[in-house]
Amino acid sequence: MDIEIRRKGRALIVSLGGELDLATAAEVKERVDAALAENSKVHHLIWDLENVDFIDSSGLGVLLGRYKQIQARAGKVVALKAVDPVRRVLRMAGMERIMQFADTEEQALAQIGGR
Amino acid sequence: MDIEIRRKGRALIVSLGGELDLATAAEVKERVDAALAENSKVHHLIWDLENVDFIDSSGLGVLLGRYKQIQARAGKVVALKAVDPVRRVLRMAGMERIMQFADTEEQALAQIGGR
Amino acid sequence: METVENKVVMRFPSKAANIGFARTAVALFASQLEFTLDELDEIKIAVSEAVSNAVIHGYKGTEGEITVTCRLTNDRLEITVKDEGRGIADVEQALEPAFTTEPEERMGLGLVFVREYMDKLEIDSEPGRGTSLFMIKSPTQARVHS
Amino acid sequence: METVENKVVMRFPSKAANIGFARTAVALFASQLEFTLDELDEIKIAVSEAVSNAVIHGYKGTEGEITVTCRLTNDRLEITVKDEGRGIADVEQALEPAFTTEPEERMGLGLVFVREYMDKLEIDSEPGRGTSLFMIKSPTQARVHS
Ligand SMILES: Nc1ncnc2c1ncn2[C@@H]1O[C@H](COP(=O)(O)OP(=O)(O)O)[C@@H](O)[C@H]1O
Ligand SMILES: Nc1ncnc2c1ncn2[C@@H]1O[C@H](COP(=O)(O)OP(=O)(O)O)[C@@H](O)[C@H]1O
């Protein structure tokens, strides 16, 4: 799994590439949790899912776990550029109740209030 | 396997798409042999391999069998736009001794003498 | 009349790395029927959940064998995912959304996805003996490739 | 020390449609090691030839079972393709370029390709009992994915 993490203002932008399942979940969790622990100024989390072509419930578990941490920081979570099959799984699991969807980074940053 | 056959002057142009192996060989043989039988004016055969992404010795057998028929008509055979992995297999089997390679249809037609 | 057109049996150890192999291989085999891309995605998810469950819950840390069997008839695909692990105590409960025996780690959505994405799901499980998921899916649109 | 890192066994009937499944599934499994795309293509061709031979020569029209086993160690992939068909009378001869028992249809290149594209090939065959091809290939460039 390709994992790229950068900070933009008060948002952490995590770009993933590959298939997000049980085999790759642990590494994503670790990397993102470490970045969140290091950056106490970060309130929001943007998942750039453009290059994720598969996700199942183990992958959703990764997103949900990180959502709980962001919630504790009173921040927002955005799913950016999710491709159709991935977006379908996210919706089916009701993830639109806890995260927003965006098609561009600007849109994502605007949705979290530009902060 | 996608098979498209058209005539251009004294050449038959056969465009294939998919994987050329034992599972698809019979259909290609039948279709091309029928076209050759119908078109006694056809002397040359151009295989457009642009969309063939796999070939093995069963696939080479198809090319070789048709080569023999074209040879009997004193014609030439050209392999057009073969992608690297396919070209490699063709070369390894020594097919460049019995067919020419071309990157464009014009080039292929020129190689068979424009006839 | 239903005739078995094709079949494949795959056996592999319960490693997380094999989950991706299993779902992709099954989708590859399934593409002999005229499934849409969406349907192939659904099959992939169902297989991914079933094999993940065998790895996480069935064998829980220990290594065991997982068997995935695909049978293809003229109009449907049958998939069986079998482990010889710990088994499920209460299958009805396991099927409930959000039920999981690993609340720290899991969402309890795996079997919900399998049921949602496949036409049919039957679970055969016995504590201490193992679990077998039998799933069926038919293409909505068409017949077997010629 | 060599340790088996992973393994998959696939069993399917000797249908031509399964040749493509077998080579693609093996390449998928092989991609756990750092093979180049060219090497993965070579593996595909070797598997395609071995499975085609089982279909055409091993079972010749009748239907039988083919077993493909992949074992992965830290630095190599071992593939076995096995049929319980007619077997090979003279293995040395079968390996000769252009030798074929089906001169109308075949080129006698299949085993030549297998030998060319794999690092090692061992053939175990007995007339009337079947044939087993054991092949090894190692990535030229690197180690196992982490
Ligand atoms: N193959 C299996 N072996 C043993 N237990 C299983 C198996 N599959 C499912 N279960 C049980 O059923 C529960 C619900 O499964 P599931 O809906 O997939 O959710 P999750 O995997 O998130 O726990 C699991 O928590 C586990 O207790
Ligand atoms: N699995 C097999 N079972 C029986 N005979 C085989 C098998 N594989 C190869 N052979 C024999 O070896 C010969 C050479 O095989 P090969 O080099 O693959 O060429 P081809 O398939 O073109 O005949 C075949 O013609 C056949 O007689």
Angle made by CA atoms A48, A78, A51, in degrees to the nearest 5: 20
Tell me the pairing of strands B100-102 and D4-13: unpaired
Contact C64, C58 (CB under 8 A): yes
State whether the beta carbon of C54 lies less than 6 angstroms from ligand 1. yes
Number of folded domains that form chain A:
1
- Burial class for B106, CB neighbours closer than 10 Å (0-12, 13-18, 19+): exposed
Contact C80, C134 (CB under 8 A): yes
Instruction: Tell me how far apart the alpha carbons of residues C10 and B102 are, in angstroms, rounded to a whole number.
Output: 42
- Burial class for B39, CB neighbours closer than 10 Å (0-12, 13-18, 19+): middle
What distance separates the 2 farthest-apart alpha carbons in chain A? 34
Q: What is the mean pLDDT of residues C34-57?
A: 97
pLDDT of residue D61: 81
Q: Take atom 20 of ligand 1 and give the residue whose Cα is closest.
A: C108
Tell me which residues of C are annotated as active site: 49, 53, 106
Domain ranges of chain C: 4-145
pLDDT tens, residue by residue, C73-94: 989 999 999 999 999 999 999 9
Binary contact (D41, B61; C-beta < 8 A)? no
pLDDT tens, residue by residue, B65-111: 999 999 999 999 999 999 999 999 999 999 999 999 999 999 999 99
DSSP letters, D108-134, are S-HHHHHHHHSSEEEEEEETTTEEEEE
What residues contact C92, with CB distance under 8 A and at least 6 apart?
none
Is C122 in a helix, a strand, or coil?
Answer: strand
Instruction: Classify the C-alpha dihedral C136-C63-D139-C10 as positive or negative.
Output: negative
Q: Measuring CA to CA, which residue among C92, C77, C5, C86 is closest to residue C53?
A: C86
Tell me the pairing of strands D120-126 and D77-83: unpaired
Contact D107, B60 (CB under 8 A): yes
Q: Measuring CA to CA, which residue among D137, D115, D133 is closest to residue D40?
A: D137
pLDDT of residue D105: 85
Q: In the predicted model, is pLDDT for residue B114 greater than 90?
A: no
pLDDT tens, residue by residue, D70-123: 999 989 999 999 999 999 999 999 999 999 999 888 999 999 999 999 999 999
Per-residue tens of pLDDT for chain A, all 115 residues: 999 999 999 999 999 999 999 999 999 999 999 999 999 999 999 999 999 999 999 999 999 999 999 999 999 999 999 999 999 999 999 999 999 999 999 999 999 985 4
Which residue among D45, D47, D51, D53 has the greatest number of ligand 2 atoms within 8 angstroms of its CB, and so is best to mutate? D53
CB pairs under 8 A between C and D: 49
pLDDT tens, residue by residue, C19-32: 999 999 999 999 99
Q: Which residue do the tokens 């150890």 mark?
A: C13
Average the pLDDT over each of A94-98, B59-63, D90-94, D141-145 and give the range with the smallest value: D141-145
Tell me the pairing of strands D65-73 and D4-13: antiparallel
Instruction: Tell me how far apart the alpha carbons of residues B8 and B2 are, in angstroms, rounded to a whole number.
Output: 19
Residue among D13, D21, D32 whose CB faces C28 most closely: D21
Task: Tell me if chain A has a CB within 8 Å of the CB of C48.
Answer: yes
Kindly calculate the radius of gyration of chain A based on its CA atoms and give it in whole angstroms. 13
pLDDT of residue C105: 85
| Structure token pair of residue A68 | 């709980």
Hey, which residues does A16 pair with through a beta bridge? A3
Direct distance between the N- and C-terminal alpha carbons of chain C, in angstroms, rounded to an integer? 18
Kindly list the distances between the CA atom of residue C52 and the CA atoms of A22, A65, A86, B81, C18, in Å, as whole numbers in the listed order: 7, 18, 18, 43, 9
Residues of C in contact with D24 (CB under 8 A): 28
Instruction: Tell me how far apart the alpha carbons of residues C5 and C35 are, in angstroms, rounded to a whole number.
Output: 16
What number of other Cβ atoms are within 10 A of residue C55's Cβ?
A: 25
| Structure token pair of residue C133 | 């998921």
Q: How many residues does chain D have?
A: 146
- The secondary structure of residue C74, as a DSSP letter, is S
Instruction: Tell me how far apart the alpha carbons of residues B103 and B96 are, in angstroms, rounded to a whole number.
Output: 14
Tell me the CATH number at A39: 3.30.750.24
Residues of C in contact with D21 (CB under 8 A): 8, 25, 28-29
| Structure token pair of residue C62 | 């220990």
CATH code for the part of the protein at D4-145? 3.30.565.10
| Domain extent at residue B75 | 2-111
Q: Which residue do the tokens 């490693």 mark?
A: C15
| Structure token pair of residue B112 | 């068979």
Residue C135 host element (H or E): strand C130-137
Contact C113, C45 (CB under 8 A): yes
Is B114 in a helix, a strand, or coil?
Answer: coil
Is A49 in a helix, a strand, or coil?
Answer: strand
- Chain B: touching chains (3 or more CB pairs < 8 Å): D
Angle made by CA atoms C32, B22, D46, in degrees to the nearest 5: 100
| pTM above threshold 0.80 | yes
| Residue C95 confidence class, pLDDT cut points 50, 70, 90 | very high
Residue B101 host element (H or E): strand B100-102
What residues contact C133, with CB distance under 8 A and at least 6 apart?
C50, C53, C79, C80, C81, C82, C114, C121, C122, C123, C124
pLDDT tens, residue by residue, B4-41: 999 999 999 999 999 999 999 999 999 999 999 999 99
* C with A: touching (≥3 Cβ pairs within 8 Å): yes
DSSP letters, B4-56, are EEEEETTEEEEEEEEEESHHHHHHHHHHHHHHHHH-TT--EEEEEEEEEEEE-
Binary contact (D12, C15; C-beta < 8 A)? no
Mean pLDDT, chain D, as a whole number?
93
